[in-house]
Amino acid sequence: MTKFELSDREKAVIILKIAGLGDKEIAEKLSISYGTVRTYIDRAKIKLGCENMLQLVVTANSMFNM
Protein backbone atom coordinates (compact mmCIF):
# COMPACT_ATOMS: atom_id res chain seq x y z
CA MET A 1 0.00 0.00 0.00
CA THR A 2 1.43 3.35 -0.98
CA LYS A 3 1.03 6.61 0.87
CA PHE A 4 -1.96 7.56 -1.29
CA GLU A 5 -3.90 4.30 -1.14
CA LEU A 6 -6.73 4.15 1.33
CA SER A 7 -7.62 0.88 3.00
CA ASP A 8 -11.08 -0.56 2.35
CA ARG A 9 -12.15 0.47 5.85
CA GLU A 10 -10.85 4.02 5.41
CA LYS A 11 -12.79 4.23 2.14
CA ALA A 12 -15.96 2.95 3.81
CA VAL A 13 -15.69 5.53 6.59
CA ILE A 14 -15.03 8.39 4.16
CA ILE A 15 -17.89 7.36 1.86
CA LEU A 16 -20.27 7.41 4.82
CA LYS A 17 -18.84 10.79 5.84
CA ILE A 18 -19.50 12.11 2.32
CA ALA A 19 -23.06 10.77 2.64
CA GLY A 20 -23.49 13.05 5.65
CA LEU A 21 -23.25 10.62 8.56
CA GLY A 22 -21.67 11.73 11.80
CA ASP A 23 -18.78 9.89 13.39
CA LYS A 24 -21.00 8.15 15.96
CA GLU A 25 -23.44 7.07 13.24
CA ILE A 26 -20.55 5.69 11.17
CA ALA A 27 -19.27 3.78 14.20
CA GLU A 28 -22.68 2.22 14.76
CA LYS A 29 -23.20 1.39 11.09
CA LEU A 30 -19.78 -0.29 10.74
CA SER A 31 -19.82 -1.84 14.24
CA ILE A 32 -16.59 -0.11 15.25
CA SER A 33 -15.77 2.35 18.00
CA TYR A 34 -15.97 6.12 17.67
CA GLY A 35 -12.21 6.26 18.27
CA THR A 36 -11.59 3.87 15.40
CA VAL A 37 -13.66 6.07 13.08
CA ARG A 38 -11.54 9.07 14.09
CA THR A 39 -8.35 7.04 13.50
CA TYR A 40 -9.46 6.07 9.99
CA ILE A 41 -10.34 9.67 9.21
CA ASP A 42 -7.01 10.94 10.55
CA ARG A 43 -5.08 8.33 8.55
CA ALA A 44 -7.00 9.19 5.37
CA LYS A 45 -6.23 12.90 5.86
CA ILE A 46 -2.53 12.12 6.17
CA LYS A 47 -2.49 9.77 3.18
CA LEU A 48 -4.32 12.27 0.95
CA GLY A 49 -2.48 15.33 2.25
CA CYS A 50 -5.59 17.00 3.63
CA GLU A 51 -5.48 19.44 6.51
CA ASN A 52 -9.15 19.33 7.46
CA MET A 53 -12.39 17.42 6.97
CA LEU A 54 -13.63 19.66 4.16
CA GLN A 55 -10.48 19.02 2.13
CA LEU A 56 -10.76 15.31 2.80
CA VAL A 57 -14.40 15.14 1.68
CA VAL A 58 -13.73 17.15 -1.48
CA THR A 59 -10.63 15.12 -2.35
CA ALA A 60 -12.27 11.77 -1.63
CA ASN A 61 -15.44 12.80 -3.45
CA SER A 62 -13.44 13.41 -6.63
CA MET A 63 -11.44 10.20 -6.15
CA PHE A 64 -14.57 8.09 -5.77
CA ASN A 65 -16.38 9.94 -8.60
CA MET A 66 -19.38 10.66 -6.39
19 part of a folded domain: yes
The CATH number assigned to the domain holding 44 equals 1.10.10.10
3 part of a folded domain: no
Q: How many domains does the chain have?
A: 1
Is residue 39 a contact partner of residue 47, using CB atoms and an 8 Å limit? Answer: no
52 part of a folded domain: yes
> 3-state SS of the chain?
CCCCCCCHHHHHHHHHHHCCCCHHHHHHHHCCCHHHHHHHHHHHHHHHCCCCHHHHHHHHHHHCCC
Is residue 3 scored above 60 in pLDDT? no
Hey, what amino acid is at 41? I
The domain in which residue 18 lies consists of 8-63
pLDDT in tens, 32-46: 999 999 999 999 999
46 part of a folded domain: yes
Q: What global pTM score does this model have?
A: 0.87
